Structure 1
């Protein structure tokens, strides 16, 4: 089982591209892929452009986000391989369905029980498959206003509010470490991406 993610980038578009490239590097070609909390679809679009996966399921609990994802993907040649699914990941019944690759990009903090979410990811992963998790972490209280200023800007109050809520809902570095011990992923480690992201990574990726 492989756990890899990217770090922080100044340009949000570069972040999506870098993440997509790492997913491809660590995944099985022509396999099936699940994107949890697909949002506006930027990651599945980058992956579909490269025509790497046989099929992609883009899942989000928000109809609005899925509509945006569909619109953004409408001009992608490989969009026929994308299935859009409005559902709560933890409540959704996958039946016998398994995936070769599962992505959870900046979504884990939305789950009330992130451990349960990761355990479900593992349960629907094919043997030898790969899970890619990247999320923000909650910094010390005193530095949160700095993060909001740097990463959310000063013009849009709504964006600043949403970013603060996301930070407060995310796990602290210590909470990530506790979660890591609970899920007992052999051959993996916590990787800290200064200044804003953290991940669960395969051992040989922890020193890059």
Structure 2
């Protein structure tokens, strides 16, 4: 039976020790080739000036930059501690000239109307205080024809898969955070309903064993 959604946080991960643990987890996913880079490229996001919502330590966006040419990334995150890690990782990648990170809420993206070619996000949808408002903000900053890709966990995840994921990550705070993130995640039907009330109106939603992937265009 599907459990009711339990809100996790709208403030992101702020505590520095937990941020470092999260960075290590994301780095491990990158090293095992488990980032969503290919899915973003498959969604048609491969050029231009692109916005990432909730980049965390930055690995997904930085890997995307590695796979593309003549691209520029803007990351918006609510956590100053995460931005500091992302800026450190940007330097390690040697991509200081192709990426910047802004401290802001995704409810009020600090960019002009129709100023980006695409938007992508992974793992932050369940933290958005009002996902419909954020999706409308994405629509606002997108140029006509711009594409979006959003991926996240799903609340209907199989319990055996969740146990496997908990086994694979290290740190009590990260294991606990994985559980609370799943409880705060949306179902595919819930997200379809959210999109129906936004300026996008509709989207394509794909379920995976671990979560959901959302693709749309303006």
Counterpart for residue 59 of structure 1: 76
1: CA distance, partners of 2:70 / 2:40:
11
Superposition CA RMSD, Å: 2.6
User: In the alignment, which of 7, 15, 20 is matched to residue 34 of structure 2?
Assistant: 15
Q: In 2, Cα distance between the equivalents of 1:55 and 1:23?
A: 15
Correspondence for 2:135: 118
TM-score by length of 1: 0.77
Matched, 1:35 2:30: no
1:121, 1:55 → 2: CA distance?
Answer: 17
Q: Per-residue deviation at 1:68?
A: 1.1
In structure 2, the gaps of 5 or more residues are 1-27
Match of 2:187 among 172, 186, 191: 172
> Given the alignment, which residue of 94, 112, 129 partners 1:77?
94
Structure 2 CA distance, aligned partners of 1:136 and 1:117?
A: 18
Contact kept in structure 2, 1:101 and 1:125, CA below 8 Å: yes
- Which of 103, 109, 117 is the aligned partner of 2:120? 103
Bigger Cα displacement from structure 2, 170-179 vs 125-134? 170-179
Structure 1, unaligned runs of 5 or more = 1-10, 203-208
Distance 1:89 1:188, change over 3 A: closer
Contact 1:148–1:160 (Cα < 8 Å) also in 2: no
Return the alpha-carbon distance in structure 1 between the equivalents of residues 88 and 187 of structure 2.
Answer: 35
Is the CA contact (8 Å cut-off) linking 1:28 and 1:100 kept in structure 2? no
- Work out whether 1:163 is the aligned partner of 2:181: no
Provide closer, same or farther for how the CA distance between residues 186 and 89 of structure 1 changes in structure 2, counting only shifts above 3 A.
closer
Give, in angstroms, the shift of residue 111 of structure 1: 0.5
Q: 1:70 to 1:95 in 2, by over 3 A?
A: same
Cα gap change, 1:21/1:95 in structure 2, threshold over 3 Å: closer, same or farther? same
- Residues paired across the two proteins, number: 186
Aligned partners of 2:134 and 2:115: how far apart in 1?
A: 15
Shift of 1:126: 0.4
Report how far residue 185 of structure 1 moved.
4.4
TM-score by length of 2: 0.74
Aligned residue for 1:15, secondary structure, equals: coil
